[in-house]
């Protein structure tokens, strides 16, 4: 079937060798975890849990370092704590981590002017498709797809997930001890004092509340405080995904064991395409990005194809409309799915419909646009009687300057200070924390 965003590997023998090796290696996640996530997503569809999905636009092998992984986990834990406190329901934490290495591109090639003066000439090379496919440097050899990177991706994902699991299981993520994830940035000058005070007050409140409920022998507290962490990435490389897709003893069906929640991107969700065909065959829950270009009929068909038995906890619709389009586009999509009684979890990605270029040609997003999309989505979901069960952010635990706006007041001029993304602009830690506070206030109806 047509494979959108397909990669032309120059050495088919090398590709076959790598895929065989990947297929023989142990899985990165287990079917048990996948089934547990499905159950939690089914709860979220019914408003009993809230999903927080976030991480880099593109992970890179170079950033597979203890500090960067721990900081990403910390900001996600902090955000989840704010959301638990505001919404008073358990949060399902899903990182865009441990495999977010393949990127769809709007253009398969990139042309740059190389050299200076009289020797300057235009050079066209394949675009950078993420560390799983090729390398970012603008040279012929770097940009040539290299199948060995599929293996390198697997190993980096394995190291990442191993570290995350050890941190989470070792007690780092215990909600009783938010001081463990106290990021040094909480004391940093750039962070608005009001946000710091609000966060610290909330931590103290939450810890108090937990102790009180535990003293009463309250059962639900366990569910609120037990931290589970799941992984997700765009299932773009069908070589990578299919090599790790297998049957497991005593269970029906096939599991894609590279990640808990693979998703199909906006550029690869064609109804007659290979990605939909592949992911309709796995037991994993599957995300699908939905932009304002998606028609209600298309969405219905997609939902039915990916989830023919209409099970709960199977599909996650990740709506990424854009602040200026959400009002017109989202209601008709929610209605189409609701009218037919099709199950699925709706979450809001306020990032991907709000990307723009600065006058200097840098990709950026404005926090105010994201807040607008999030607030509109919340109101639309309420009006349509469809649960908004989660959010999807591109964020990092680092002090980057990629998105403008927010309480820190980053301007376009500030963006060059620390623009580190290999792809789309991410929220930095205080912009991310701010977003969590907005969500918490939404829960309180403010």
What, of ligand PEP, Co ion, none, does residue 289 touch, CB below 5 to 8 Å by kind? Answer: ligand PEP
Binding of ligand PEP by 136 (CB under 6 A)? no
What, of ligand PEP, Co ion, none, does residue 136 touch, CB below 5 to 8 Å by kind? Answer: none
Which has the closest alpha carbon to 429: 386, 383, 402, 397? Answer: 397
**What are the residues whose beta carbons fall under 8 Å from the beta carbon of 175, sequence distance 6 or more?**
81, 84, 206, 210, 224, 225, 227
Which has the closest alpha carbon to 245: 234, 259, 231, 233? Answer: 259
Residues at the contact surface with Co ion, assessed by CB under 5 A: 57, 424
Torsion angle in degrees (nearest 10) through CA of 135, 421, 234, 97: 100
Q: Which is nearer to ligand PEP, 106 or 124 (CB)?
A: 106
44-63 positions binding ligand PEP, by CB under 6 A: 57
Binding ligand PEP (rule: CB under 6 A), the pick from 104, 192, 331, 443 is 104
Burial class (CB in 10 A: 0-12, 13-18, 19+), 137: exposed
Binding of ligand PEP by 265 (CB under 6 A)? yes
- From the list 27-35, 44-52, 150-158, 264-272, the region that binds ligand PEP by CB under 6 A is 264-272
Q: Which residue is nearest to ligand PEP (CB)?
A: 265
Q: Residue 56 and residue 272: Cα distance in Å, rounded?
A: 29
Binding ligand PEP (rule: CB under 6 A), the pick from 63, 266, 398, 434 is 266
Q: 186: which 2 tokens?
A: 């909480």
| Least distance to Co ion, CB of residue 393, Å | 10
Q: Residue 169 and residue 74: Cα distance in Å, rounded?
A: 14
Backbone φ and ψ of 405, nearest 5°: 85, -165
Print the binding letters for residues 395-424 with ligand PEP: x by CB under 6 A, - otherwise.
-----------------------------x
Q: Which is nearer to ligand PEP, 43 or 131 (CB)?
A: 131
Q: Which is nearer to ligand PEP, 266 or 434 (CB)?
A: 266
- The answer to whether 299 touches 333, Cβ cutoff 8 Å, is yes
Q: Which is nearer to ligand PEP, 384 or 394 (CB)?
A: 394
| Least distance to Co ion, CB of residue 102, Å | 12
Which has the closest alpha carbon to 1: 248, 260, 268? Answer: 268
Report the length, in residues, of the chain: 446
304-343 positions binding ligand PEP, by CB under 6 A: 320
- Tell me, what DSSP letter sits at residue 178? G
Binding of ligand PEP by 273 (CB under 6 A)? no
Q: Residue 218 and residue 229: Cα distance in Å, rounded?
A: 23
Print the binding letters for residues 348-367 with ligand PEP: x by CB under 6 A, - otherwise.
----x---------------
If residue 96 lies in a helix (H) or strand (E), which one and from where to where?
strand 91-96
Q: Which is nearer to Co ion, 43 or 402 (CB)?
A: 402
Binding-site ranges for ligand PEP (CB under 6 A)? 57, 104, 265-267, 289, 320, 352, 424
């Amino acid at each position: 079937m047509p494979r959108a965003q397909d990669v032309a590997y120059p050495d088919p023998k090398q590709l076959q060798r790598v895929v065989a090796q990947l297929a023989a290696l142990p899985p990165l996640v287990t079917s048990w975890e996948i089934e547990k996530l499905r159950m939690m997503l089914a709860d979220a569809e019914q408003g009993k849990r809230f999903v927080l999905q976030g991480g880099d636009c593109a992970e890179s092998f170079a950033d597979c370092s203890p500090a960067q992984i721990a900081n990403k986990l910390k900001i996600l834990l902090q955000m989840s704590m704010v959301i638990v406190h505001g919404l008073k329901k358990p949060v399902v934490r899903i990182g865009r981590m441990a495999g977010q290495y393949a990127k769809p591109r709007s253009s398969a090639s990139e042309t740059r002017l190389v050299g200076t003066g009289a020797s300057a000439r235009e050079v066209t090379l394949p675009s950078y498709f993420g560390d799983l496919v090729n390398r970012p440097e603008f040279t012929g050899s770097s940009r040539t797809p290299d199948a060995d990177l599929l293996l390198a991706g697997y190993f980096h994902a394995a190291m990442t997930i191993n570290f995350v699991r050890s941190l989470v299981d070792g007690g780092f993520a215990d909600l009783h001890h938010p001081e463990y994830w106290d990021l040094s940035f909480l004391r940093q000058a750039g962070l608005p004092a009001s946000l710091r005070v609000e966060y610290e007050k909330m931590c103290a409140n939450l810890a108090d509340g937990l102790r009180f409920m535990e003293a009463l022998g309250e059962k639900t507290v366990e569910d609120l405080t037990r931290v589970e962490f799941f992984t997700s990435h765009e299932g773009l490389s069908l070589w990578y995904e299919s090599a790790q897709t297998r049957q497991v003893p005593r269970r029906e069906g096939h599991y894609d064991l590279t990640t808990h929640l693979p998703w199909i991107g906006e550029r690869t969700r064609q109804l007659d395409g290979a990605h939909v065909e592949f992911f309709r065959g796995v037991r994993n829950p599957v995300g699908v990005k939905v932009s304002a270009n998606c028609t209600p009929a298309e969405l219905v068909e997609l939902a039915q194809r990916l989830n023919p038995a209409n099970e709960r906890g199977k599909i996650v619709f990740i709506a990424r409309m854009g602040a200026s389009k959400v009002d017109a586009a989202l209601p008709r999509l929610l209605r189409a799915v609701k009218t037919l009684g099709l199950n699925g979890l709706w979450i809001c990605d306020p990032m991907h419909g709000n990307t723009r270029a600065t006058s200097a040609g840098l990709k950026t997003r404005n926090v105010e646009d994201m807040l607008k999309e999030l607030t509109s989505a919340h109101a639309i979901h309420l009006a349509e009687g469809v649960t908004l069960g989660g959010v999807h952010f591109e964020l990092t635990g680092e002090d980057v300057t990629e998105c403008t706006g927010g309480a820190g007041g980053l301007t376009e001029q500030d963006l060059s200070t620390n623009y580190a993304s290999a792809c789309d602009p991410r929220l930095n830690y205080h912009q991310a924390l701010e977003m969590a506070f907005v969500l918490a206030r939404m829960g309180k109806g403010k």
